[in-house]
Amino acid sequence: MKPRKQRGINWFALIMLGIIVYFSSILISQQVYLSQAADDYASAKARLEAAEKENAALKEEARQLNELSYIEKVAREELGMTRAGELPYSVGHK
């Protein structure tokens, strides 16, 4: 009869399990970080697009402010101004 081996802790399996847990935790933390970075990128891109639209609108308004007809339109509609000799006329809405 062969003598029976005593069973002890399988150190190789324990070390391998530790390595797998360690690298899994690193992988998960990197995935979380990348997800947050992607969200930040999307948010920044949306803010950039909004700023570019606002910039284009402001440039268009600045261009129009050099036109006399636009200045007159703004003065009449928004400021209620009239030319000399004109009577102001407003339509009341119910």
Domain boundaries, the chain: 13-77
- What is the arithmetic mean of pLDDT over 65-82? 83
pTM confidence score: 0.55
DSSP string computed for 30-65: HHHHHHHHHHHHHHHHHHHHHHHHHHHHHHHHHHHT
Burial letters 43-63, b for 16+ CB under 10 A, else e: eeeeeeeeeeeeeeeeeeeee
Encode pLDDT of 19-65 as tens digits.
999 999 999 999 999 999 999 999 999 999 999 999 999 999 899 88
